[in-house]
Amino acid sequence: MSPVTLHLRAESKPMEHRSALTPTTAKQLVDAGFNVIVERSTQRVFKDSEFEDVGLPLVDEFSWPQAPKDQLIIGLKELPEESFPLVHEHIQFAHCYKDQGGWKDVLSRYSNGNGTLYDIEFLQDEHGRRVAAFGFYAGFAGAAIGLLDWAWQLEHKEPLPAVDWYDNENALIADVKKAVSGVIERTGAKLPTALVIGALGRCGSGAIDLFTKAGVPTENITKWDMAETARGGPFPEIVASDIFINCIYLSKEIPPFVTLETLNTPDRKLSVIVDVSADTTNPFNPVPVYTVATTFDKPTVPVEVENGPTLSVCSIDHLPSLLPRESSETFSAALIPSLLELPDRENARVWKEAKALYNHHVSRL
């Protein structure tokens, strides 16, 4: 059997600094008999030289369309919006299996080129749990931006300015604590209250961890999961909190958690919504009070309300890129056991099921 060749593509999404493979995990694959080719990247947190130092060959940035057809293309975020057919097998997050906007256009490119999509979001173990996910760091980063925005709003009318990535979580926590303590000292405000929905999952646990490390008391953090939301929204408890973090995994239609009507009340405390789930184009989005995905250079958008304090939403769909090195190392290490099964992907359960799911959605075109 010929060795599997993985082609690590450079990410094209603006301010996406993460990587599906790190120098450490790529070297593990090589040691296991894989060929790994790495595209140069101008924005990846890992320098090209870090891959070279472990003996990995580098090729031009964005050269994957010209790669031999038998190479598997691995990346993270969605490909640029192009029309040419995709002839390779791709391993990535595609965001097209839940009827998101443009899903047919995305899948048609694979179908038209006889390619295959292995969507990382749907690589699952025998218990139905994702084999690798960025959820913890998504929640962690989302809560950090939530606190930064809460503190910013107390002294500014203009939106929160651009947020840049951090070398490590300690540096991020230090900046968040400085912003919160500074505004409390200058304004006399009290520490905020926060409500986290999806608190038992990876994402929710990350949000709670950030709040705790940033000095928000446990009694100020309301932790909800499926039991608390079973009665169906909208929920007045959200409106009564300063910060709302949505961390759920949306798999079906559910009643909205908030609506413009429930937000438009004079006694509303809520000033910050962080929709970590970022199901912006999903027809069943349970936070239907905004319509655009925000970005690190413009992290929030205002919600048009007539009553109560200023209200903004953060809906960045790649929040872990705020901590790209740590989140990439954790994610890639979790993905390695599944990648090691690629030589037998026609029979290995995780890949066989992922391909069957792809074929199912292509049949819907």
As annotated, the active-site residues are: 77, 95
Report the largest interatomic distance among the alpha carbons of the chain, rounded to a whole angstrom: 68
Whether residue 348 contacts residue 336, with contact meaning beta carbons closer than 8 Å, is answered with: no
Return d(Cα 322, Cα 15) in angstroms, integer: 9
* Extended strands (E) in 240-361: 243-246, 272-275, 301-302, 312-314
Cα distances (angstroms) measured from residue 55 to each of 30, 48, 61, 301, 333: 9, 11, 18, 44, 19
29 within 8 A of 6, measured Cβ to Cβ: yes
**Encoded tokens for 112:** 């038209």
Question: CA-CA distance, 105 to 81, in Å (whole number)?
Answer: 9
- Of the candidates 140, 154, 163, the one whose C-alpha atom is nearest the C-alpha of residue 188 is 154
Cβ neighbours of residue 19 closer than 8 Å, sequence gap 6 or more: 8, 11, 41, 44, 45, 46, 76, 324, 328, 332
Q: Are strands 301-302 and 312-314 parallel, antiparallel or unpaired?
A: antiparallel
Determine contact, residues 166/322, Cβ cutoff 8 Å. yes
Three-class DSSP category at 258: coil
| Residue 1 · residue 343 · CB < 8 Å | yes
Residue 355 CB burial class (10 angstroms; 0-12, 13-18, ≥19): middle
Neighbours of 64 (CB within 10 A): 22
Q: Are 19 and 11 in contact (CB under 8 A)?
A: yes
Q: How far is it, in rounded angstroms, from Cα 312 to Cα 309?
A: 10
